[in-house]
Homo-oligomer: A and B are copies of this chain.
């Protein structure tokens, strides 16, 4: 289990079942039994996933009610989003280059190089825009 909060958040999100649990909790708090229902999984297996989410601070379990409802705790997701935002310009530039490339290919009737991402222009090398 990673020590720093950001690594703990990303590690907790690196599993489709845990992401599905968060998606379910985004619709409202619920019990562990109800959470387990849509998954072909034992209750202990679901509990294990919940513990990962709880340690990462992504869910809280109420101690007020006896059924101990789980609730989404979205704050760590903001940290993950903030980290990713620093890279937005790169994926946007990358998509722009792909669009330019496709327009270029269609305009010049060059044969499409299937599934190959275009090489950045020379002046961009070593210092992506």
Contact = CB atoms under 8 A, between A and B. Distances in A.
Given A14-B7, A14-B11, A94 B81 contact: no
A80 interface: yes
A117 to B, nearest CB: 7
Interface stretch (A21-29, A41-49, A99-107): A21-29
A86 interface: yes
B13 A10 contact: yes
A38 to B, nearest CB: 17
A121 interface: no
Nearest to A90: B74
B87 A26 contact: yes
Which 7 residue pairs are nearest across A and B when measured between Cβ atoms?
A74-B90, A10-B14, A11-B14, A28-B126, A74-B91, A78-B91, A10-B13
Interface of A: 2, 4, 6-8, 10-11, 13-16, 19, 22-23, 26-29, 60, 71-75, 77-78, 80-81, 83-88, 90-91, 94-95, 117, 125-128
